[in-house]
Structure formats: C-alpha cells, structure tokens
C-alpha cells in the first residue's frame, strides 16, 4: 500500500546549526501533511502542517516545504537547540481519508 | 498537557489476559483515533471513532476491539494478549478530517 517514509532514520546536528529533515510520500492524492515531534516517553506533539495548495509554511523556528512534483516534504529547524532532540514524524492524509498515515520517523540528536 | 487523557500510563500483564485502555478526548473533539507504536517502530493506525460510530479501521487484530461512549471517551480492549502486543498505545482526538490531531501521552503495555 502507499505510505509516507523518511529518507534518513537518524540525524546528528551541532547545536546552533539548522536541521533539515526529509520525507518522501507516495500518495499523489494526499492533500494534507503534518509534522510531529515525539520526545522520549511522550506522545507525538504537533509542530506544523501544510496543505497541498501551498509550497511553504513557516512557524516559530520551523519551516515546512512541500514539493508536489517529486512528492517530497521537508522540515527545517533553525538554530537547533538541545530541546529539539526527538523523533520527528511526517504524516499525510488524502481527501477521502479520515486518518493520518505516518512514516517511520527520523531521530534527531543535537550535539553540544 | 495536550488535553487528551489516557489511562493507565503503564500496564503489565501476563499472556492470555485481557486489558482495557481508556482515552478521554480533548474538549470539543468528536473523533478518537487509536495507534500502536512498537519498539523503534512508527505509528500504526488501529481504529477511529467519530461521535460514537466506527469510521475507519486499520490493521487492527481481531483480538482487539474498541468503542466510543456517549460522553465521547473511548476504550480499547485487547484480549488473549501475546508478547508481541507489548507496545505503546496512543489515543488521539481531532475535529474533522481536514486537520491533524492531538495525541495523548500513551499507555505503555508490557505483556510478560
């Protein structure tokens, strides 16, 4: 079946640098995308979302980019901090879907 | 606090037993979603309820069942438990299909 996946399972980033987390999706009909952050022992926490009629959306220190041509989604974190260490999941939903489909996740480790 | 309450936080039980996990959605949310997260795995969708009715079903085992009550809280029942059922079980609640949803902090089930 179609699913959302991530390019890399782990990412190590120096504190203060920018992080880029990538996600490839296969369902061209998906029209809603979302990034979640999951810290150890906690539930996933909403970071930012984007609809398919947009290419870019910015939040506080985070930017999501959507490239529908190549079915690619990315999350950029500016000035990465130790508190950003977590597993990041992208998820997608199609227009007829009620549920989000999640990728496998990328573990981000911030080096001091 | 996300507003989604899951109880219990931890559960240890023996193989063959039956357990019930409980979820209270965020105020105003009509949808409840159940996900399973095994060790180092992504989030696997189990089932969704909307205003008391089953709306979507994922790869939920026949040994598992769920329901949503008139007060909108939901219960996930796991029976004839096996060692492989050990996992984190998350509940999430949402408004409608066009948005993401909010996760609870999960129930960690350990089957011994």
Q: At CA A64, angle to CA A60 and CA A67, rounded to 5?
A: 165
> How far apart are the C-alpha atoms of A97 and A90, rounded to whole Å?
16
| Residue pLDDT, tens place only, A64-110 | 999 999 999 999 999 999 999 999 999 999 888 888 999 889 999 99
Using one digit for the tens of pLDDT, what is the confidence trace for A74-87?
999 999 999 999 99
Does the beta-carbon distance from B42 to A34 stay under 8 Å?
Answer: no
Taking the alpha carbons at both ends of chain B, their separation in whole angstroms is: 30
pLDDT 10s digits, B7-38: 999 999 999 999 999 999 999 999 999 999 99
Q: Taking CB atoms and an 8 Å cutoff, what residues of chain B touch A104? A: 41-42
Confidence at A7, pLDDT banded by 50, 70, 90? low
Query: What value does the mean pLDDT take over residues B88-93?
Result: 96
Which residues are CB-neighbours of A44 under 8 A, at least 6 positions away? A36, A37, A38, A89, B43, B90, B103
Does B48 reach chain A within 8 Å, measured CB to CB? yes
CB-based contact B2 A103, cutoff 8 Å: no
Tell me how far CA of residue A14 lies from CA of A7, A86, B32, B47, in angstroms: 20, 14, 38, 39
Strand pairing class (B31-37; B87-94): antiparallel
- A43–B4: do the CB atoms touch at under 8 Å? yes
Q: Is A15 in contact with A111 (CB distance < 8 Å)? A: yes
Residue B40 confidence class, pLDDT cut points 50, 70, 90: low
Nearest CA to A92 among A68, A108, A76?
A68
- Note whether B103 contacts A44, CB cutoff 8 Å: yes
pLDDT at A2: 34
User: Whole-angstrom Cα distance, residue B86 to residue B102?
Assistant: 23
């Amino acid at each position: 079946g179609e699913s959302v996946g991530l390019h890399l399972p782990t990412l190590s980033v120096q504190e203060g640098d920018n992080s880029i987390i990538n996600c490839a999706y296969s369902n061209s009909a998906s029209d809603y995308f979302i990034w979640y952050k999951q810290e150890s022992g906690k539930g996933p926490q909403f970071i930012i979302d984007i609809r398919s009629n947009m290419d870019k959306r910015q939040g506080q220190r985070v930017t999501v980019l959507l490239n529908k041509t190549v079915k690619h989604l990315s999350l950029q974190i500016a000035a990465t901090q130790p508190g950003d260490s977590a597993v990041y999941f992208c998820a997608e939903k199609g227009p007829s879907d009620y549920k989000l489909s999640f990728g496998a996740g990328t573990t981000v480790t911030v080096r001091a | 606090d996300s507003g989604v309450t899951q109880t219990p936080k931890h559960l240890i039980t023996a193989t063959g037993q039956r357990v019930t996990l409980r979820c209270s959605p965020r105020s105003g949310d009509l949808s409840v979603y159940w996900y399973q997260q095994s060790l180092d795995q992504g989030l696997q969708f189990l089932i969704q309820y909307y205003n008391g009715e089953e709306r979507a079903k994922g790869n939920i085992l026949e040994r598992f069942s769920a329901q949503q009550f008139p007060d909108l809280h939901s219960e996930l029942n796991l029976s004839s438990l096996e060692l492989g059922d050990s996992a984190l079980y998350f509940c999430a609640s949402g408004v409608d299909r066009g948005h993401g949803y909010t996760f609870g902090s999960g129930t960690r089930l350990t089957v011994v």
